Amino acid sequence: MKTDDSIELSHADLPQSLEELDPKLEAKIRRKYDLRIMPIVTLIYLMAFIDRSNMGNARVLGMEEDLELTGVRFNITLTAFFITYVLFEVPTNIMCKKFGPRIWLSIITCSFGLLTMCIAFCTNFAGITAARAILGIAEAGIMPGISYMLSTFYRRHELVTRVGVYAAFASLAGGFGGLLATGLHMIPPWGMIHTWRNIFFFEGILTIVSGVICYMFLPKSPETARFLTEEERRIGALRIQLEVLTNNQTKIQKSHFKLAIWNLHTILMSIGLFCSLLCMNSIALFMPSLLRTMGYDSIQAQLMTVPPYAVGTVVCIVLCVLSDRFKTRGIIIGGIVAVLITIAFAILLGVSMDSYGVRYMAIFFATAGAFTGSPMQIGWLVENSAGPMVRAITSATGVSIGSLGGLLATWTYATDYTIGHIINLISGVVIICVAVTATINLRWQNRQRALGKKDHILQGLTQDEVEQLGHSHPHFRFTP
């Protein structure tokens, strides 16, 4: 496919394999991507996570009383978001593939910014529940859309670091969101906007601005990136095409759904994401409430969320970089990330309520583990699928099923903190099992292909059929 801005890839002098690519040129291309793409996707994900999780901040700053969110009403408003969020993951990411990440991500970012502003004007339980449900539709495409978009620019062993960097800012968003909420709620009343309403109104404006920035500066594809030279555009597109063994998926087919969904790795990663997003959203939505049980008032609870989130950001980035450096995922996820989650909730479950210092330390562990697990697993899922359409469906499917964990998280601490800690503890153990099973499976798959036991798949296929094989191609190697 060729556009007015694109460049022709079929030059005879282009490299014919990944080994022929110039490492220095690739490094230069990566640096340019990092300087242009990463700040933009980090910004829009930061705003998405703030807009999604600011209910916890608003709750302790007066929203619960003003809107009479008594009993389980607050949990119902949270659940309304995740129901639509889960249902629209796959459709919205297919739309992302159809319209292109630049246009689609810009549209949905502006949309959920506008919807966040609308929450500032809600006056009752029914209104805020409806607004949160619609917000879930708008935000559904953000995480899988960004992950898919990055996979069109970065190679597989560059991907997890980048997913980790932008997702790490979900952790930072928690701390920044607490500081921002504390400042915004102090703005003097103007009209009906006051205290917690300021949080939604001004954060919505900032999100709309982020959507405009996304449209203005995010490139469509490597072929059309104007900040690259002509040679860099050719190599930028070619290196992705050579690695995934196909670049010929322009129309959605049933086979794409089969490749994306009906394989063991997608199933395992979906289970792992369910548990990771359960833990992550439990922390994001209820950390201020957990801290209030330690004797802090509303403002102190907001400020005490900052250190755990800051540590979580650093841990996420460091572990993702190490994962790419050593080209391994399962060992880090199962041996470090899930262990942190398990230890954290075991401590919260086992120590007495008046052991404030130990419980606060456990929140550091929980945040570091929970906010690292999901980006690493998303990267692990996307990099082990091949073909543009297949990757779009795979990432959306994994996040969609995983987001059911986010839905469950809205109820984990609804009535009893002990029950919530038990659920999250079990989730940590399940992530360990998933990581071990996935690692064993991928290593076995690679061994079978290295021995030539999958070569028969190519027999009798046309070139077009070979290009549709994606990660089922015998020459494709998985990252364990």
Residue in 307, 283, 416, 294 with CA at minimum distance from that of residue 352: 294
pLDDT reading at 103 higher than 60: yes
Across 354-359, average pLDDT: 90
Q: State percent of the chain over pLDDT 70.
A: 94
- On whether the CB atoms of residues 383 and 327 are closer than 8 A, the answer is no
Looking at residue 2, what is its pLDDT?
41
Report how many domains make up the chain. 1
Q: State percent of the chain over pLDDT 90.
A: 54
Among 356-360, 362-366, 465-469, the least confident range: 465-469
Q: What is the pLDDT of residues 308-355, one digit of tens each?
A: 988 998 999 999 999 999 999 999 999 999 999 999 999 999 998 888
pLDDT band at 97 (very low <50, low <70, confident <90, very high): confident
Q: What is the pLDDT of residues 386-437, one digit of tens each?
A: 777 788 889 889 988 998 998 899 898 877 889 999 999 999 999 999 999 9
Mean pLDDT of the chain: 88
Looking at residue 33, what is its pLDDT?
96
Looking at mean pLDDT, say which of 38-52, 144-158, 432-446 comes out highest.
432-446
pLDDT band at 15 (very low <50, low <70, confident <90, very high): confident
Cβ–Cβ contacts within 10 Å for residue 415, how many? 12
- On whether the CB atoms of residues 338 and 369 are closer than 8 A, the answer is yes
* DSSP notation for 16-70: SSGGGS-HHHHHHHHHHHHHHHHHHHHHHHHHHHHHHHHHHHHIIIIIHHHTT-T
Q: What is the pLDDT of residues 63-95, one digit of tens each?
A: 999 999 988 899 999 899 999 998 998 888 888
Where would I find the beta strands (DSSP E) of 145-242?
none
Q: What is the pLDDT of residues 262-272, one digit of tens each?
A: 889 999 999 99
Across 222-247, average pLDDT: 86
CATH number at residue 293: 1.20.1250.20
Across 102-109, average pLDDT: 95
pLDDT band at 170 (very low <50, low <70, confident <90, very high): low
Q: Domain span at residue 456?
A: 34-222+254-472
> Which residues fall within 8 angstroms of residue 308, CB to CB, at 6 or more apart?
174, 175, 287, 363, 364, 366, 367, 368
Instruction: Assess if residue 477 is contained within a domain.
Output: no
pLDDT band at 9 (very low <50, low <70, confident <90, very high): very low
Instruction: Assess if residue 451 is contained within a domain.
Output: yes
Nearest-angstrom CA–CA distance, 157 and 152: 13
Looking at residue 121, what is its pLDDT?
95
